[in-house]
Amino acid sequence: LITALTGIEIALWDLKGKALNVPVYELMGGKFRDKIRMYADCQVEPGMNFDQIKQVVDGVLERGFTALKIDVDIHAYGHHGTEMEGFSKDRFNQTAFQWEHERMVELVDMVTSAAGRDVAVAADVHTRLDVSSAIRLARDLEPYHLMWLEEPVPAENPKAMREVKRSTSTPICAGENLYLAHGFQELIEQQAVSVIMPDLPKCGGLSHGRRQAQMAELYYIAFAPHNVSSPIGTLASAHVCATVPNFMVLEFHWLHRDYWSTIIQEKEDIIKEGYIHLSDRPGIGVELDEEVGLQYQYPGTTWF
């Protein structure tokens, strides 16, 4: 329900901007920055060797990105094509085995080596660990100076997250599945994270996204929204990112989706050299191409 209401809320921001002939960021009081730094979510899999990882990372850097994220937990892609193939782990067991821990550290080592010291790297664990395993991993990743370690434990338990954060110098990031400003309140007030990552196209709307960022700013916590959206949702998030001082970086999840930029009428990639450059177009700034959108409509559903 909240996600559905979020879509309506974003549409109303777009509508009001068009009615007043101003971009959404002006409705929010103006922008701190003209361009929004993006990070690329990379398809780096546990079974890859260094040369394969270097090829993936180089492809990201060639597109101008200066930051990237990888999934390090073994559940992210399964175990196919690796020495872990056929391994069955109880999905409720959040304790990292020794080889599992070593594999996560090894993957970070290869990616950071491939990326170089000028590229920021984040590692996502998808809440798969218990507190002791998370602390051990975070500490062993300290030499790599990650941009952040993402959701090592579930964000619904801020005290557990705080224990992890206080035990390491590795920045901790969380919040992609929290909703509304109130959903972040305890996480922020407990200072359980270094970075919050609300997913703005689903967490309650752009208004709540700004409140989350403003609340985090009081505690010197950075704002780096999670984002797996279309160009429309991504650009809507970018408007919020432009209007808050503690913005860090915004996610781009569609490196390997050629249709990503075709579903807007502008037919252009809104990300250039790793940044979104905000325009002065009214509203969000792009329009949905309904004819293209209909091609990807899920069977059995209605368009509107």
Q: What distance in Å separates the CA atoms of residue 1 and residue 282, rounded to the nearest whole number? A: 28
Range of weakest confidence among 70-79, 177-186, 221-230, 267-276: 70-79
Whether 262 has a pLDDT exceeding 70, the answer reads: yes
Structurally, how many domains does the chain consist of? 1
One-letter identity of residue 94: Q
Average pLDDT over residues 15-41: 98
Residue 151 domain flag:
yes
Residue 301 lies in a domain: no
Q: Which residue has the higher pLDDT, 267 or 139?
A: 139
3-state secondary structure of 144: helix
**CA-CA distance, 182 to 202, in Å (whole number)?**
15
**Residue 45 located in a structural domain:** yes
**Model pLDDT, residue 255:** 84
pLDDT of residue 7: 95
Q: What is the pLDDT of residues 74-88, one digit of tens each?
A: 665 455 445 555 556
Q: Is residue 302 part of a domain?
A: no
pLDDT band at 271 (very low <50, low <70, confident <90, very high): very high
pLDDT digits (tens, 9 = 90+) for 135-174: 999 999 999 999 999 999 999 999 999 999 999 999 999 9
Please name the residues in contact with 37: beta carbons below 8 A apart, sequence gap of 6 or more: 66, 67, 248, 249, 250, 274, 275
Q: Is the pLDDT of residue 179 over 50?
A: yes
Q: What is the pLDDT of residue 283?
A: 98
Residue 304 belongs to a domain:
no
Q: Can you count the helices (H) and strands (E) in the chain?
A: 10, 10
Question: Does 110 reside within a domain?
Answer: yes
Beta strands in the chain (DSSP E): 35-41, 67-71, 120-124, 148-150, 172-174, 195-196, 222-223, 250-252, 271-272, 275-277
Neighbours of 266 (CB within 10 A): 14
The range of the structural domain enclosing residue 27 comes to 2-295
Q: pTM of the prediction?
A: 0.94
Integer Cα distance of 108 and 214 in angstroms:
32
CATH of the domain at 36: 3.20.20.120
Q: Which residue has the tokens 């399964």?
A: 78
Q: What is the pLDDT of residue 89?
A: 66
- pLDDT tier for residue 258 given thresholds of 50, 70 and 90: confident
Task: Tell me the average pLDDT across 105-127.
Answer: 96
Give the model's pLDDT for residue 46: 67
- pLDDT at residue 213 is higher than 50: yes
Is 92 domain-assigned?
Answer: yes
Would 262 be classed as within a structural domain? yes
> How confident is the model at residue 296, as a pLDDT?
85
Contact 121/115 with Cβ under 8 angstroms?
yes
pLDDT at 94: 87
Q: How many CA atoms lie within 13 A of 121 on its CB side?
A: 29
In percent, how much of the chain has pLDDT > 70? 94
Mean pLDDT computed over 216-223: 99
| Beta pairing, strands 120-124 & 67-71 | parallel
